[in-house]
């Protein structure tokens, strides 16, 4: 049986938040709210239980339940990619097989980390996981897990099930070279929100990122302009978005984004410790910054700043 392609998985794909209540329990009702919001905004897919989804802070059973709920709520309206990464191959295979049974369009995984595995170890991990399912694998190259060099990535693409790469790094020369070498049938996704335009210029087929939960409209416009060849205008909007992103990075920004969504009518819940949810005085600083930005710029291209706020008890 030939492995399906991931060529239909392109465009703006939020690395979707996992949703927790104030007691840090997985909240599937909130998950459904967020899924509908993002799809209604026009995103092209969902990437779940990854870094932004706090997947490494969840038990395997929680990841499975969340996966089932998101796929059911998405109801084939957009493709769903499930991050199944864990340090151990056996656990990852179990999560991968569950994702396939639940109806995922593709799986994804960071390389095994912490133990400084050899390149042969990493190759064996991806081959064993990919061989365990009949849906494609998108490998995930990210600094915290140890960036894989192009030679290893190239070797991984010889595995039958590996059909794409999520590249969360700032060396877009590497991304561009990989795209040229691997061709149009191998999908590459830029994972650096602050450099989305640069990623598209380097040949990325899509964008997978954290801030697309809060700013889907912003990055959909950037993607549209890039597809039309108007990179100058796309970069102007990127600079505005990056200004906001950089401002939030002084705190645990997952919590900032979740609270911004909740304050504007999309209940995205809370973060799980050791992340901390923002205190009221922090959110006052965030909203004051947004108000200043709206005054100084005719159009921020960030729709959440203009939605009616419903401050929640923190």
Q: Catalytic residue positions? A: 140, 166
**Parallel, antiparallel or unpaired: strands 162-168 and 137-142:** parallel
Distance between CA 43 and CA 279 in Å, rounded? Answer: 30
3 state SS for 39-60: HHHCCCCEEECCCCCCHHHCCH
**Token output for 234:** 């796309």
- Percentages helix, strand, coil for the chain (3-state, rounded to 5) are 50, 15, 40
> How many whole angstroms separate alpha carbon 104 and alpha carbon 86?
18
- Residues 106 and 138: their CA atoms lie apart, in Å, by 7
**H-state helical runs in 249-279:** 253-263
Chain CA centroid to CA 304, Å = 19
Q: In whole angstroms, give the CA distance from residue 84 to residue 108.
A: 6
> Cα(297)–Cα(31) distance, rounded to whole angstroms?
33
Alpha carbons within 13 A on the beta-carbon side of 291: 8
Chain centroid to CA 9: 13
How many CA atoms within 13 Å lie on the side-chain side of 220? 16
């Amino acid at each position: 049986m030939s492995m399906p392609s991931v060529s239909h998985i392109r465009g703006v794909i939020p690395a979707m938040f996992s949703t927790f209540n104030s007691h840090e329990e997985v909240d599937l009702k909130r998950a459904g709210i967020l899924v509908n919001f993002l799809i209604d905004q026009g995103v092209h897919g969902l990437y779940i239980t990854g870094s932004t989804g706090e997947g490494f802070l969840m038990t395997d059973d929680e990841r499975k339940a969340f996966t089932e709920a998101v796929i059911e709520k998405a109801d084939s309206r957009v493709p769903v990619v499930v991050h199944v990464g864990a340090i151990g191959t056996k656990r990852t295979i179990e999560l991968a097989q569950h994702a396939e049974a639940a109806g995922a369009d593709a799986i994804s995984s960071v390389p095994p980390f912490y133990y400084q595995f050899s390149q042969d170890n990493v190759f064996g991990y991806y081959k064993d996981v990919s061989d365990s399912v009949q849906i494609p694998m998108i490998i995930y190259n990210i600094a915290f897990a140890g960036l894989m060099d192009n030679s290893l990535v190239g070797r991984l693409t010889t595995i039958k099930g590996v059909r794409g790469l999520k590249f969360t790094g700032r060396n877009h020369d590497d991304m561009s070279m990989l795209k040229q070498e691997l061709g149009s049938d191998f999908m590459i996704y830029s994972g650096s929100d602050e450099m989305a335009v640069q990623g598209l210029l380097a040949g990325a087929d899509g964008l997978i990122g954290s801030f697309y939960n809060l700013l889907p409209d912003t990055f959909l416009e950037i993607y549209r302009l890039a597809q039309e060849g108007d990179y100058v205008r796309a970069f102007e909007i990127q600079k505005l978005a990056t200004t906001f992103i950089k401002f939030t990075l002084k705190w645990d920004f997952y919590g900032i984004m979740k609270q911004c969504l909740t304050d504007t009518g999309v209940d995205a819940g809370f973060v799980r410790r050791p992340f901390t949810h923002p205190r009221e005085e922090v959110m006052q600083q965030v909203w004051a910054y947004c108000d200043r930005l709206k005054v100084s710029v005719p159009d921020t291209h960030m729709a959440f700043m203009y939605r009616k706020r419903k401050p929640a008890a923190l």
